Amino acid sequence: MTELSAAHDAAVTDRNRLAGSAYSSDRDLAARQALYEWKTPRYDLPGMVAEQLSEVRGRVVDIGCGNGTYVQRLRRDRPDLAVLGLDIAPGILAGVPAPVAVADVTHLPLATASVGAALAMHMLYHVPHIPRAVGELSRVVARDGLLVVSTNSARDKPELDDLWQRAAGDVLGTERGPARISLSARFPLEKASAILGEEFGRVDTIELPGTITVHDPEPVIAHMASCRAWADQHDVPFEATIERARTILVDHIAQHGAFEITCLGGILVCRH
């Protein structure tokens, strides 16, 4: 592991940073979620998860539930389920209707085989020891239950990576600046199935490709700025780079009419 990757891992998994800054409220998470409003095709992710849980009965736990997108949808569509939201960040749980609790995926306050399904949506890359977390998820899911996980591909949003490096280079006076931090790099879609397969006998991957097309720079800028909790990891003045990216986007949209971002994420459905 290089020094850079070690620093990246430490920053992305630091519990104080996650609970106290990155997810102290839903502001930054909501900004990342909002960018997908301009994606085609549109995927109803909470609806897709609810469909995967059609045969599940009893308790469902959403671990790393964030601002409660999946919790609230499941409670609406499946009132027969007992849905519990867990997250390490008390601040982001403030807006999620009870029952919710502060908990860490590596030490779940749940009995063995006590849930019909567990969700771990876009959160395992924040865990210091991912295999240990997967083992804990396997422990709490009933033998006939399932785990639903989501993450992004290593090839997700390359245009944002390029935009950041162009803007950072302009700020630093170099041709290309350093890469922006990648939250999902520690648990990319390409490697997720093998990691989950260490504990689950069957892992089915549903890929969700698409293109985000914006005619206004602000949704993109808000998405990029949502990583402000890791501003010290970018090796470039963060706010100045964001402002330079806005100027580049304004010029690009004026010339081409839109800015397009290639997306690839996925859902993994795991069974014992």
pLDDT tens digit sequence for 130-174: 999 999 999 999 999 999 999 999 999 999 999 999 999 999 999
| Helix-strand-coil split of the chain, %, nearest 5 | 45, 25, 30
Q: Could you give the CA distance from residue 113 to residue 260 in angstroms, rounded to a whole number?
A: 44
E strands present in 167-258:
202-214
pLDDT at 6: 85
- Examine the pLDDT at 3 and tell me if it is beyond 60: no
CATH of 3-271, one of 3.30.70.260, 3.40.50.150, 3.50.50.60, 1.20.58.760: 3.40.50.150
- Examine the pLDDT at 5 and tell me if it is beyond 80: no
pTM of the model: 0.95
Average pLDDT across the chain, whole number: 96
- Examine the pLDDT at 256 and tell me if it is beyond 80: yes
pLDDT at 233: 87
What 3-state DSSP class applies to 23? Answer: coil
Residues 255-264 have a mean pLDDT of 98
- Examine the pLDDT at 45 and tell me if it is beyond 80: yes
Residues 84-111 have a mean pLDDT of 97
Residues 79-94 have a mean pLDDT of 97
Question: 2: pLDDT confidence band, cut at 50, 70 and 90?
Answer: very low
Q: Could you give the CA distance from residue 230 to residue 248 in angstroms, rounded to a whole number?
A: 22
